[in-house]
């Protein structure tokens, strides 16, 4: 791995590079407080005339298309995508006010290929269509398919820039003082170990994120997309809907014990299903808590090298869909209680 400290806009504004978020990555998740901090830190850096470090951007070089190098973005999509949204807001505001804006903003927003224009950052899955439409000034996707966080964050930036006394020039100066550590993975580096390291250092991923990444990171982009869309994305969509319904029911229903109201459902139902799959397919793998599920799953995969990835994903998909069909069954409830940490769940040792 090669690392160097650099200006964020230098990394983002190179007209010959494009950042692509792989399908196995988590979705865009920054909210307004993150956007507020970005604006606040940029203004402070300009006023105090100092650099401000905003984190690490990890990537791996991929293919070259039309003279533009694709960089697979391992970590940093939240920062880069949000700065690109801010650049769109600045460009549009300056265009409306005076008709001109700094050229480097355009390079933060998009890249020119021989046959078309594309976003500088290609987000993954549900965010991609909305982000691309915003970046390129195109029609938004259908309302049910839109990424609300992308639209909300852009609306926040537009509102800030529309304030009568807001100093856009000062903000531009501050953006130029934001620094990152750019880390380039080489062919000998293993992206999954990077994910695990990030998870251990205060940037937690859901267990299902880690398992998904474990299965898909070593594949080329085309095969990642095929397997993800066929086997994994339908599970995430289905269990997201189940978890949303469970949260809504517990919020509205009278008589739910306070402890049950406080259960954090994000990722819990799918973790319970994956635990059920592991118990059924590896009777000796008995993690006592959700924290041990990933290691137990990883060990099971390593101990069964004869099983192809497609066979493994097929098995997981079939079991988890059956789990969802029978979500109210006693067997499913045992696994859900295990995921919650209730004593009536599976009491397995490590």
Q: What does the pLDDT look like over 216-247, one tens digit per residue?
A: 877 777 788 788 889 998 998 899 889 888 87
Q: What is the residue whose two structure tokens read 């203004």?
A: 43
* pLDDT value of position 349: 36
Across 315-324, average pLDDT: 96
* pLDDT value of position 196: 61
pLDDT higher than threshold 70 for residue 337: yes
* pLDDT value of position 262: 46
DSSP assignment of 15-64: TTEEEE--TTSPPP---HHHHHHHHHHHHHHHHTT--EEEEEEEEEEEEE
For 72-125, the pLDDT digits (tens) are 888 888 999 999 999 999 999 999 998 899 999 999 999 998 888 999 999 987
Please state, in angstroms and as integers, the Cα–Cα distance from residue 265 to each residue in 122, 193, 240, 241, 317, following that order.
29, 26, 9, 11, 20
Across 291-307, average pLDDT: 89
pLDDT higher than threshold 80 for residue 54: yes
Percent of the chain with pLDDT over 70: 88
* pLDDT value of position 27: 82
Q: What angle do CA 268, 269, 270 make, to 5 degrees?
A: 95
Question: Which of 118-122, 280-284, 296-300 comes out lowest in average pLDDT?
Answer: 280-284
pLDDT higher than threshold 80 for residue 156: yes
Going by pLDDT thresholds of 50, 70 and 90, the confidence category of residue 269 is: very high
* pLDDT value of position 197: 60
> Which is nearest to 77 in space by CA: 14, 129, 29?
29
Going by pLDDT thresholds of 50, 70 and 90, the confidence category of residue 202 is: very low
For 175-199, the pLDDT digits (tens) are 999 999 888 877 666 666 665 665 5
DSSP annotation of 273 reads H
* pLDDT value of position 192: 62
Q: Cβ atoms within 10 A of the Cβ of 258, count?
A: 6
Task: Pick the more confident residue, 203 or 275.
Answer: 275
* pLDDT value of position 84: 96
Percent of the chain with pLDDT over 90: 49
Question: Which of 200-214, 255-269, 294-308 comes out lowest in average pLDDT?
Answer: 255-269
For 9-25, the pLDDT digits (tens) are 999 999 999 999 887 77
Counting every residue written for the chain, the total comes to 350
Going by pLDDT thresholds of 50, 70 and 90, the confidence category of residue 249 is: confident
How confident is the prediction for the chain on average, in pLDDT? 85
């Amino acid at each position: 791995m090669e690392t160097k400290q650099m200006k964020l806009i230098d990394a983002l504004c190179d007209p010959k590079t494009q950042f692509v978020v792989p399908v196995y990555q988590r979705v865009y998740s920054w909210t307004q407080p993150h956007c507020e901090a970005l604006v606040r830190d940029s203004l402070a850096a300009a006023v105090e005339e100092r650099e401000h470090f905003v984190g690490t951007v990890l990537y791996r070089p991929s293919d070259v298309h039309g003279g533009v190098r694709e960089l697979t973005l391992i970590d940093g999509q939240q920062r880069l995508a949000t700065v690109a949204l801010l650049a769109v807001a600045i460009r549009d505001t300056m265009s409306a006010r005076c008709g001109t804006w700094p050229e480097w903003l355009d390079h933060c927003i998009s890249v020119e290929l021989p046959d078309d224009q594309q976003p500088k950052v290609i987000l993954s899955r549900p965010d991609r269509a909305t982000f691309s439409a915003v970046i390129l000034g195109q029609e938004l996707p259908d309302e049910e398919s839109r990424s609300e966080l992308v639209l909300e964050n852009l609306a926040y930036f537009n509102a800030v820039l529309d304030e009568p006394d807001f100093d856009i020039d000062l903000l531009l100066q501050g953006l130029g003082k934001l620094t990152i550590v750019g880390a380039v993975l080489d062919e000998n580096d293993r992206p999954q170990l990077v994910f695990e390291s990030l998870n251990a250092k205060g940037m937690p991923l859901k267990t299902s994120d880690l398992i998904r990444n474990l299965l898909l990171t070593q594949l080329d982009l085309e095969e990642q997309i095929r397997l993800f869309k066929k086997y994994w994305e339908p599970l995430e969509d289905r269990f997201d809907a189940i978890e949303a319904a469970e949260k809504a029911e517990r919020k509205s229903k009278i008589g739910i014990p306070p402890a049950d109201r406080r259960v954090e459902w994000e990722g819990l139902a799918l973790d319970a299903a994956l635990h059920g799959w592991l118990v059924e397919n590896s009777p000796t793998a008995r993690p006592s808590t959700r924290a041990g599920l990933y290691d137990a799953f990883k060990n099971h995969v390593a101990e069964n090298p004869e099983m192809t990835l497609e066979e493994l994903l097929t098995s997981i998909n079939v079991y988890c869909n059956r789990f969802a069909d029978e979500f109210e069954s006693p067997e499913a409830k045992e696994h859900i209680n295990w995921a919650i940490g209730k004593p009536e769940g599976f009491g397995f040792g490590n």
